[in-house]
Structure formats: structure tokens, C-alpha cells
Structure 1
Amino acid sequence: MNQRFLLLKGQIIGGRYLIQQVIGSGGMSHVYLADDLKLPGKQWAVKQCFSFPQQFTNIEDEAELLTTLSHPRLPRIVDFFPPDVKGNAYLVMDYIQGVTLEKYLSSRSGKVKIDFIIRLAEQVLDVLEYLHQHDPPIVFRDLKPSNIMLTSQLELRLIDFGIARNYKQERSEDTVKLGTVGFAAPEQYGSGQSDARSDLYGFGALLLYLVTGGIASEWSDRVESVIRRDCPNEIIPILRKCLQQSPEDRFQSASEISRTLMNYQQTPSNSPQAIGTGHVGTRVITVMGVSSGAGATHTAICIAHYLARTSSKVAIVEMNMEASAFTRIQQIVEGEDGLVIQHERRFSVEGVDYYRQTEREYLIELLGGSYNFVIMDLGSYHENDTLEEFLRADIPILVGWGSEWRMQDMSECISGLTRYPQNKWVYCLPLAPSDAVQRLRKLINSNKVYSVPLHLDPFDRCEEMDKLMNQLFKGIIPDMVKRRRFRFGL
């Protein structure tokens, strides 16, 4: 885009948006950071698009397209100014603080953890599935590192919908050939019309780019030689299928890839019975309550200290930034009356390392450490990013209510998650009678439903609780080793 069309700091768009600085540029657009004069303190991203009169409809199409979308991984458009006499149009959208994946990878010389790559892949598939479920499907067509923004917590946001389009069934090929070389599917360059499967090719190219440290984004006979050695072998067939030249030979939907990826993570080698003490790496246990107060934190602490008594190296992570349970524990451990604000978020109790109010960015580093087990306290169930952690864990534990009148909470939660594989889930019902346990087992067709005994002090060893833990972790841990007890109290 010609530099003479650049807006200057201090210019005002639509009598409301005060331009501060340029934060990005593309072939036919600039993006600015702008202050909202009507909402002091609020900032927006203003995309300035330049086009010729015959292209005006394209700009308006992009605005219309964005206004129909509502997904946490997509920018929200809040205002639009159609092309003026000079061909300048403006889209006002959410300002996403963070860095592009391209810059993030560059700052690390392309070397990122496999856990990060898998999590990123899952997030990409999530948003692609949303786009492709529209009628007609919305095809992004330019899935590359510079079009992916990462927030401070390494959450993905897709940006730049400049070449996204609705799939048009009556056309045999795209009218305009667009996309980034190396990431765009072959049909985007004249061999056919791009559709949802074109984005799946782009997903494969992006994934290959990540697991080769930026060396390759197109499949070839020799590409496997440059894939990093710690990449799970099961990823290779996913890459190979995504990057087929013909759309008919690829996966046919993002959800199909998601299921394949999840199935690999849920193979018998990941099941509790198959995890031996000789396993190298960190096993993740997530604990989530069906609702607030169900006992997720109490259960997570019980599990952490049970595993620590087996000589395992254990960390327990508080994933809710608003939670206060670990703060209160740290105050007691360190003997302080005031709030724990300035201290390290990490503290230890009886062989367990506690991480309070932990951001996801740090969690990724933690999972690559030397712990045998990382227990995540996810708090109560809700459709957000903690659910992703629950689904990908080696042992996901759902904590419900043992009382008869609250059993419906568990049933409704399970029903709301039926679209996800549940074969490795464990269900815990505090103080539930045996008939309640049997009913739930029959309802969900799973024997992994347990009644949790009364255990007032989660740090203390309890014979009945140990019996339950022995059932949950049979074959995983060595014989119990007694340790000095920690009393939770003043």
C-alpha cells in the first residue's frame, strides 16, 4: 500500500477514533492503534483498506463477513466506514494485545515446546471448525504465522480476514488467486475453488512449519528428515493427509482432525493402567468441579499429597486467576497475616510444589519440567480455556455432588460435553451413597465413578481416601512412603 495514504498520529476517524500509531501493514492495508474519544481508556485497532472503485464491494464484503462472526478467537468488528472518494475504507475492531506467531517463533529461533505446538493446533482447529460450520462455510484461506496473534497467555487469535470468503458452490474455481506461497492450498492458484479443505491444507502447512522449526511448510519425500525428533510419531500421518494435493485425499473437516488428534492422545499407552513408574515425562491430572463448591480444589490437594507420599515429584497448579485458596494456604505456610502479593507464586507443602494463580504461558514451561505429575485445579466447569486443559489431560477427573438433590448437576455437565470423547474420564462424588454411584455408572456406561469418603484435612493421610486413590492410580505408583504430616490450620 502506498505510504502516502498513511494516517498520521492525531488524525481522527469518524469523529471518534484518535489515531496513535501504526501497528501493522499489509499489501493493501494498514492497521493503527486508536483511542476511543467517547470511551476514555478504550483502544481499538483501525484497519485502513485502500482499493480502487471496482474493489469497493470487496471491502464491504469483509465488513459484512466480520459482523456475522462471534468467537473468542476472532476479532470483533465494532464500526465500519465505507470507501471514501480516495478509496480509503476503515474497519474498527478489537485491539488484541500480544505478538504474532511469526515474531514469537523468531524470538525463539523457531524452537518451541511440543506441548505448545499441540495446544496451538487444537486452538486453530477449534476456530476453523466454527468458520466452516457456517452456511455457506467461511474459508479463511491465509493461515500463516503472521496472521495468528498470541496473547500474553499464549491464547490464539486469528487476524486479517482480507481474503476470507464464503464458499460458492456454483463456481469451479476462485475468481481471485490469493494466499501465501507455502501455506496456501494448490486450488487457490487455479486448480479449483477453495473450500473448507483448503484451510485444512493451510493447517497442515502451519503444523509442519512448527515441527520443522520453520524449515518446511510443504510435504515432500525428504521432509520427514527435518521434523524434530521429539515430535510424536502420530503427528506424521496427520501432516501427510492434510498436505495432499487433491482436496478429496485430505481430511474432510476440522472436527475430523480434532478427533484424530485426540484419539492419539487417548491411546491405551496414556491410560492410567498402562502408566508405569518407568514413564519418562510429566503426566497431567486435571480436576474440575461440575459447579462451584463441588470440591475440586479439595480433591486436587488430596491427590497431590497422595502422589507426593509415593516419592513422586508433584506440582499442583491453580488455574483460576481469581481464586484465593492457594493464597490462604501460602499465608498459613509462611506464617503471615497479610495478603500474599509480593511473594513468589510458587511455594511448597510436604513435598508438593504449589503454583497459585498460574497463567497459561508459565504452565507450558512447567509441563516441560522434571515433575512426574502436574495436577491442575481448574475450578468449576464452564466453556472456556480451562475446559481445553481438562480434555487433553492424561487423567481428567470430574468432581460432582454426592447428595441426591445435586446429582443432576453432574448429569447436565456430562450431557453438555457429549461431543467430546469421555473414555478416560474419572468421576468423583463426595460422600455419595453406593446406589447413587451405581445409578451414575449405569447412566454414563462407565465404571470409573467413585464415592469420595469424608476427609476433612486434604493434607493429612486418611486410610479411606488412600483406598480410593489406590483404585484411581493402580499400577502407576510405587509403594507408599510415610512422610511428616502437615496440618492445615492456625
Structure 2
Amino acid sequence: MEQRNGLETGMLIAGRYRLLGLIGSGGMGAVYAAEDTRLGGMLRAIKAHRPHAAGTENLAEEAALLMRLNHPRLPAIVDYIPRDYHGIEMFVMSYIEGIHLKDFAERLQGRPIPVDEVLRVGIQLADTLGYLHAQHPPVIHRDLKPTNVMMQKDGMVKLIDFGIARCYKPGTERDTRLLGTPGFAAPEQEGGGQSDARTDVYGLGALLSYLLSGGIAPVAGGATYPSRKSMDASQRELEAVLARMLAERPSDRYPDMKAACGALRQLYGKSREVLIAEHASWAGIETTMLNQEKTGAPRFPQPAGGRRIVVASIASGAGATSVALTLAMLIAKRRMSCAAFEHPAAGPEWHALLNAEGEGAPSSRGVLTPLAPGYARFEKRGVRWHARLPIALLDGEQLASALAYRMMESNAASDYAVIDLSSGWMEPDAEDLLMEADLLLFVGDPDVAKWSAVNLTAAERLRRARQSSSRMTLWAANKDIRFRERADWLSLFPVRPELRIPYIPPEKRHELLWKGNWLTDDRDLLALLEKTYAPLISRIASDAAHKPRVL
């Protein structure tokens, strides 16, 4: 079916890119999704434009500009395709999986976006704009609006569409072309002067004001909100910063993006000391202990009374996360108190897998308690879960997140703590945990092409080192299914697997997950899994009451 500019779904562009459909369109052109037939169908985004007499170089200039930029929050240019016989020119970009900020705001149906989320977006964009302004000559975006920013699932934002971006020209009093979006364009873009870095300061302020107000475009001078009476203290503080960013005269705004970003970071509490002190207060740990942690002095104490079970995968995709979640739930079903932790070295998967904010089965409902930065706590199926939030941590938050995890683990008042380390067990920060855990469970699956001699050797060295201190190291054969070479697969494990976890058909797993459930919520699977895990759980319980068995 024809979409626009004579382009049709299924059409092959430049002998390489097959159009899949129209993503969006506007006055400056249209953007299509396409698959790259030379790279196994990799998704691409293609911007197409039929030049007019007044602006025939727009797309070529935009492509040339983006090609010389390199920043994680900017689209990567893959290819440029000059005008063809249809009179259309195009450039090919990396495909960004996410939604526009406009759609993100509209989903809240007029409710203001939380201040922390607005600041998180603002700091990321300010950092990106600061990079643009640091180019020689500086690049001014000039069109910061909700449809020109994409938000990915992890909270990272991408600045897109450089159609009216320009390089700053010293000595020029006015822009040669007056472009921008009403409500988001700075006054000087209407003919009052040349745009510079302060123009983007205004644009960013307008965009953040839009988010804070629940989707209302601001006006010059900072009169941004319909009512201040309902605003809390953090909103009023942010409004003061935005009012300066939205000053009508450029000289009254922050002088550059670095200064604006600094103001946003200050509101967000970006100093590590402030963040760490807040987490210390929450966890009941003295700040002096955290200062010792930073200087390499005494580590956090062991969990009081609890026994730590660490689950790691010998290769990515082996299923350590699935094993950890199932093990925690089955321990809780035996009426033993259990806390579970998603380690900072593991990817943030629990929040979605456990349907942390959804309804699901009646037995799975829980109350989500956000913990800054990057963690949330909730109780479901008898387990106290500590899950990573699917958000992008800003600079400086990585340390605070790791410390928050250590505090949570150290203060877990449970008989057992199950820790999902997954493929992150090779990280240097995991060494102490691997050596001190009461049980280390390695998980492997039949996809041995992903196994590596380096990982197997490291795992065996760990087992021997832990054996000297009488700590258990066991193996689990996950996704066990009958096939001709099954015996050969099982023989590759360094020691006989303690667990042989049966293969769960993908259709069954997906059916449960899409309903907000887990494997243990299915009666038949629960019986199978309880039988499978019973020897391990009995051994764990027995080991808790007696001296650990050396393997």
C-alpha cells in the first residue's frame, strides 16, 4: 500500500532496505521502518524527503551533521541515499525502540509526570545538548519538542530530528530562516536575534515544563502551570529553575547548557554523598560505614541469621533468573522466610517477569515500594522481592545503586536470601559474594555453543576455593529435554548436576507471563517443579541446621 512520496510497503530501497511501514510524518518529511536485507533483517529507520526549491539541501545537511556526531543519545547514521527518479532523498538511521515523549505524556491523561522522572529526562537531554554545543562550531538543535525525543523502555532518551539544527555563526545578528514549534521555540527564533546555546536552554525548559504540567505547552516568561496550589515543594523548586530557563530575554536565562544541567542535577540530588546518605538512612546503616566502603575499609556485615544462595549462569540465556525466581517461591511455599535480590550485575528483568505493578493472579498481588536509585521492593507469593527498576541510571548513580543493594542484602531479616547474579558473576565486584555465599548454584542449558572454557575454568576454581572453607557449590542442568546427545551434554558439567530442571515449552511459559503469572502459578507445573527442586531445598534446609557439607 502506498504510504507517502510514492514509497510503498515492501519496496526495496537502494537494493538493500525493505520498507515495513510508515512510522511518522510531518512537514519536513516522513520516517519509515525498514529491514536491512544485508544484515539479517536488522531494523532501520529511514527518513525520506522530497526537496522543494527553497530548501533542497535540508536532508543532506542533516545527514552530514549527524554523521560527524557520536553520542549514545543521538541517532546513528548508517547510510545516505541521494535523490532518485522519484525526486526523493533519504538517510538511514539506527532504529530506536520506544515512544515519543508526547505519547508518554498523553498516556498519563493530563496527570503531571513525577518530578524525579522529569529531572531524569532533563539531565539526559541537557548532557546531550551540552555535547552538541561543545562542537566546533557549536550545533544548536532549535526544535526541542515532545515528538523529537524518544524514550526507551529502560528510561534512556534519544534526541531525534535535526531538520532545523544549525551551526552557530559568530557575528550574525539573526537566523537566516525562522523555524521552530510554537510553544517550544524561543522568542529569538521568531526574528528577534540569532539562536545560540541559550535557545536550546529555553527549548529544554519548555519541554520539561510540558512534562511537569501533564502536557501543557508553556509560554515565554515561565507562566507554565494552571495552578500552583496543588504543587508540592519539589515541583515548586523545579518550576523556579524552569522559569529561568524560559526567560524571554536570552541574557536572563542560564548562560549555557552546563549551568542549566547543574541546576537540574542539584535538584535531583546528584552528589554521591547526598544519595549515599539517603540510602544509609533508609537501610539503618551509619554513614561512616559507607565512607569506609568507599575507601576500601571494612565491608558490609553478613545478613543477620540468613543464608545466602547465589544463582549464576555459565552462559547467557542459560536460565539462572528463572531458576532463582522459582527457587525463592518454592522455599517460601515451605513456610521458610525468604528474601530475593536482583544483583546490580544482572539485567533488570524481575520487574517485568514478576508483574511488579500489575494484578495477575490473586496470590501474586503486591505493593510496590520504590527504593532510590534503581530498586523497588514488593511482596508476592510469600517472598520479599528486591528488584531492579527498568530505568537508565545517570552518572554517579551506579555506585549508589550498588550500595543500596548491599544495604538491602545486609539487612534482610529472612531465613534465606536468594540472589540472582546470572551472567554477572564474572564481574570483579561479585568476587566477595561468590566466596562468602552459603550456596553457589551454577546453571547450564543444552545450548553449549555459548559455553566458554574461560567460564568453566573460573567456575571450577571457585568451587575448589569455596570447598576449602566448607561452602557448597552445586550445578543445575536447566531446560533438560530428551535428545540423542543428552548424555554428552550432561557429561560436560564439571560435577554431576544436583538439579535436572525439565524443559518448559515456550508457549506455556509465554501464556503464563502474559497473564501476569509465574511457572508456579500453574497447578501441573507447580507439582513438577516441587518434585524437581525438593532434593535441593531439603539439602539447603538440612545444611542450615548442620555443618555445611564439603563437595
- Shorter-normalised TM-score: what interval? 0.5 to 0.7
* Corresponding letter in the other structure for 2:43: Q
Query: What is the match of residue 348 of structure 2?
Result: 359
Query: What is the match of residue 260 of structure 2?
Result: 257
Structure 2: give runs of 5+ residues left out of the alignment.
Answer: 358-366, 377-390, 407-428, 440-542
Once the two structures are superposed, the pairs formed by residues 353-392 of structure 1 within 5 Å of their partners are 353-356=340-343, 357-359=346-348, 362=351, 369-370=368-369, 386=393, 388=395, 390=397
Structure 1 residues 373 and 133: CA distance shift in structure 2, 3 A: closer
Query: What is the match of residue 332 of structure 1?
Result: none
* Corresponding letter in the other structure for 1:124: L
Which whole-Å deviations, capped at 9, do the CAs of 1:4-39 have from their partners, x for residues lacking one?
514101212112111111111111311111121222
Query: What is the match of residue 49 of structure 1?
Result: 49
Secondary structure of 1:43's match?
A: strand
Once the two structures are superposed, the pairs formed by residues 459-478 of structure 1 within 5 Å of their partners are none
CA contact (8 A) 2:122 2:264 kept: no
Structure 1 residues 144 and 393: CA distance shift in structure 2, 3 A: farther
CA contact (8 A) 2:280 2:290 kept: no
CA distance in structure 1 between the partners assigned to 2:202 and 2:172 by the alignment: 20
Q: TM-score, normalised by structure 2?
A: 0.57
Secondary structure of 2:176's match?
A: coil
Query: What is the match of residue 229 of structure 1?
Result: 232
CA contact (8 A) 1:110 1:210 kept: no
* Corresponding letter in the other structure for 2:50: F
211-220 vs 347-356, which moves further = 347-356
* Corresponding letter in the other structure for 1:184: A
Shift, 1:229, TM fit: 2.8
CA distance in structure 2 between the partners assigned to 1:74 and 1:257 by the alignment: 20
* Corresponding letter in the other structure for 2:30: H
Once the two structures are superposed, the pairs formed by residues 451-490 of structure 1 within 5 Å of their partners are 457=436
Query: What is the match of residue 71 of structure 1?
Result: 71
Secondary structure of 1:56's match?
A: coil
Structure 1: give runs of 5+ residues left out of the alignment.
Answer: 310-315, 317-324, 330-336, 378-383, 400-429, 431-452, 461-484
CA distance in structure 2 between the partners assigned to 1:83 and 1:150 by the alignment: 31
Once the two structures are superposed, the pairs formed by residues 38-437 of structure 1 within 5 Å of their partners are 38-84=38-84, 86-111=86-111, 112-218=113-219, 219-220=222-223, 223=226, 225=228, 228-229=231-232, 231-264=234-267, 265=269, 270=274, 302=300, 305=303, 327-328=311-312, 339-341=320-322, 344=325, 352-356=339-343, 357-359=346-348, 362=351, 369-370=368-369, 386=393, 388=395, 390=397, 393=400
CA distance in structure 2 between the partners assigned to 1:97 and 1:286 by the alignment: 38
* Corresponding letter in the other structure for 1:23: I
Which whole-Å deviations, capped at 9, do the CAs of 1:362-387 have from their partners, x for residues lacking one?
59x89x9436776869xxxxxx9556
Secondary structure of 2:210's match?
A: helix
Secondary structure of 1:47's match?
A: strand
CA distance in structure 2 between the partners assigned to 1:454 and 1:12 by the alignment: 53
Secondary structure of 1:38's match?
A: helix
Which whole-Å deviations, capped at 9, do the CAs of 1:159-193 have from their partners, x for residues lacking one?
11111111112321112111111111111111111
**Seq. identity, %:** 32
Secondary structure of 1:102's match?
A: helix
Secondary structure of 2:247's match?
A: coil
Q: TM-score, normalised by structure 1?
A: 0.63
CA distance in structure 2 between the partners assigned to 1:133 and 1:192 by the alignment: 21
Structure 1 residues 158 and 221: CA distance shift in structure 2, 3 A: closer
Shift, 1:359, TM fit: 2.9
Structure 1 residues 266 and 98: CA distance shift in structure 2, 3 A: closer
Shift, 1:209, TM fit: 1.1
Structure 1 residues 227 and 195: CA distance shift in structure 2, 3 A: farther
Query: What is the match of residue 451 of structure 2?
Result: none
Secondary structure of 2:395's match?
A: helix
CA distance in structure 2 between the partners assigned to 1:55 and 1:361 by the alignment: 50
CA contact (8 A) 2:75 2:94 kept: yes
Structure 1 residues 232 and 124: CA distance shift in structure 2, 3 A: same
Shift, 1:105, TM fit: 1.8
CA contact (8 A) 2:184 2:217 kept: no
Shift, 1:270, TM fit: 4.0
Secondary structure of 1:55's match?
A: coil
Larger radius of gyration: 2
CA distance in structure 2 between the partners assigned to 1:195 and 1:100 by the alignment: 25
Structure 1 residues 225 and 89: CA distance shift in structure 2, 3 A: same
CA contact (8 A) 2:48 2:89 kept: yes
May I ask how many residue pairs the two structures share in their alignment?
373
Which whole-Å deviations, capped at 9, do the CAs of 1:96-142 have from their partners, x for residues lacking one?
11111111222222443333222111111111111111011111111
CA distance in structure 2 between the partners assigned to 1:456 and 1:94 by the alignment: 42
Structure 1 residues 459 and 192: CA distance shift in structure 2, 3 A: farther
* Corresponding letter in the other structure for 1:88: I
CA distance in structure 2 between the partners assigned to 1:345 and 1:120 by the alignment: 35
* Corresponding letter in the other structure for 2:116: D
